[in-house]
Amino acid sequence: MNENACHRKKCTPIRTPSGPGEAFPQEPSRSTSAGGSSPVFGYNRGMVNEQILREARRLADEVFRPHAQEADQGEVTGQVGQNVRMLADAGYFGLGISPEFGGMGADDATRREFTELMASACGVTGFTQQQLHAGGGFVGGAPSQELRREKLPLFAAGKELCGVAFSHLRRPGAPMVRAERVSGGFQISGTAPWVTGWTLLDSFILGATLPNGAHLFAYIPKAGNEAAMSGGPHIPLAVMNASDTVEVTMTNLFVPQDHVLSERPADALRRGDFCGITGHVFLPLGCARGSVHYLRQLAEKRGDDQFTRAADDFTCEIDACRHEALTWSGACADLPDYKEHALQARATAILLAVRAAHAAVAATGGSAHRLDSPPQRLLREAIFYTTIAQTSDVRSATLDLLTSPDCWQAP
């Protein structure tokens, strides 16, 4: 597909900078498939490891997408739990883990494409697997070599699923989870307000605040900690309800020193969030791809060219937004224009997901609201991605773009 296929640019046009753009190896694909008319999404084939992604693409097409409404409306132990198990059995929880520990050792582009692919097929599967994927990164940096040697092969083989609970560290005011040093380790008390996949996970990475305001990150296994730790009932949600997200309360939970992953000043999280602004665009971009996929199917079914043109336009915007996000990655965090561009890319991805899902609703008509119809699900998922890993800067950029007159007017 060439540039002329981008019929409109609705939101503030994305500019590609000179300089940092060189860090990005190749333009995302805007080429056409061998058949001619349908655009190829995302990365050029050479940029991702297709051997690693082959089974993921098969699962997405043959299992996850066809059952996405069922997963959305079901329990964590139903379709979504089965999907997570299939990914675990196929080794995808070792996607980012080094082959030395039995993982796939996938490069960044392949991992991002995996995230988009999962989110495009089934939002609750994409999000839940991502939360249960987090352990590898944290434990990979553990000071204890024994912990790394013991846990990473288990994560890679999908034999241990490790979640994450630290978004509460971003909240202002009194800390929600506190840690204090005791003999042989730390003692932790408080409530983590959001922990996804509670029934499925065997362990999680917990963030807690120390008396001096620094942050402690620790590996917490469920087994053996039942007396000091309990998960609440699953929080009823309008979206991601099947992700089994709960509050977890800890009362004098003992964490041995060799389960401590890091002690960092609070500024390190702020810096990490700053450098990671564009790191969270892949779920919403995947969701937008899900809507594009749906629009193309509908265009074929109803023979309506406008749906195809809408899908083509969104495809261009998705590719441009991804390009911008990759260009303004955390590697550019010290450049003067970084913050503006990174926030623009993040907010654009959020709005793009919502607009593409909204277009799917508009194209479908009243049946879009049936619970067995993809558009209503995609729209709820798109809205959910608005707040994932939200910081006050991201919130502000999202509101700015939502209220920007440029966003909704034709040039």
Cα(182)–Cα(229) distance, rounded to whole angstroms?
Answer: 18
Residue position matching structure tokens 């979504």: 80
CB of 350 to ligand FAD, least distance (A): 13
Does residue 226 contact residue 254 with C-beta atoms inside 8 Å?
A: no
CB of 247 to ligand FAD, least distance (A): 11
Binding site residues, ligand FAD, CB under 6 A: 131, 163-167, 170-172, 194-196, 237, 240, 243, 245, 387-392, 395
Phi, psi for 332 (deg, rounded to 5): -100, 10
Q: Which is nearer to ligand FAD, 6 or 268 (CB)?
A: 268
Q: Which is nearer to ligand FAD, 110 or 391 (CB)?
A: 391
CB of 389 to ligand FAD, least distance (A): 5
Strand-pairing partners, residue 188, are 179, 253
Continuous H helices in 157-223: none
Q: Which is nearer to ligand FAD, 251 or 392 (CB)?
A: 392
CB of 177 to ligand FAD, least distance (A): 11
Burial class of 223 by CB neighbour count within 10 A (0 to 12, 13 to 18, 19+): exposed
Phi, psi for 96 (deg, rounded to 5): -100, 5
Q: Which is nearer to ligand FAD, 243 or 291 (CB)?
A: 243
Q: What does the block give as tokens for 363?
A: 């194209």
Q: Which is nearer to ligand FAD, 247 or 319 (CB)?
A: 247
C-alpha to C-alpha distances, 261 to 104, 144, 223, 255, 270, nearest whole angstrom: 23, 8, 19, 11, 18
CB of 192 to ligand FAD, least distance (A): 7
Nearest to 376 by CA among 196, 237, 235, 239: 239
CB of 127 to ligand FAD, least distance (A): 7
CB of 239 to ligand FAD, least distance (A): 7
Cα(111)–Cα(118) distance, rounded to whole angstroms?
Answer: 11
Does residue 195 contact residue 210 with C-beta atoms inside 8 Å?
A: no
Instruction: Report the interhelical angle of 305-327 vs 282-302 (nearest 10°).
Output: 160
CB of 164 to ligand FAD, least distance (A): 5
* DSSP-derived secondary structure letter, 254: E
Q: Which is nearer to ligand FAD, 33 or 387 (CB)?
A: 387
Does residue 248 contact residue 230 with C-beta atoms inside 8 Å?
A: yes
Q: Which is nearer to ligand FAD, 244 or 317 (CB)?
A: 244
Q: Which is nearer to ligand FAD, 11 or 132 (CB)?
A: 132
Q: Which is nearer to ligand FAD, 208 or 240 (CB)?
A: 240
Does residue 86 contact residue 243 with C-beta atoms inside 8 Å?
A: no
CB of 47 to ligand FAD, least distance (A): 28
Q: Which is nearer to ligand FAD, 133 or 293 (CB)?
A: 133
Cα(106)–Cα(189) distance, rounded to whole angstroms?
Answer: 37
CB of 299 to ligand FAD, least distance (A): 32
Q: Pairing relation of β-strands 203-209 and 162-165?
A: parallel
- On the CB side of 137, how many CA atoms lie within 13 Å of its CA? 12
Q: Amino acid identity of 201?
A: L
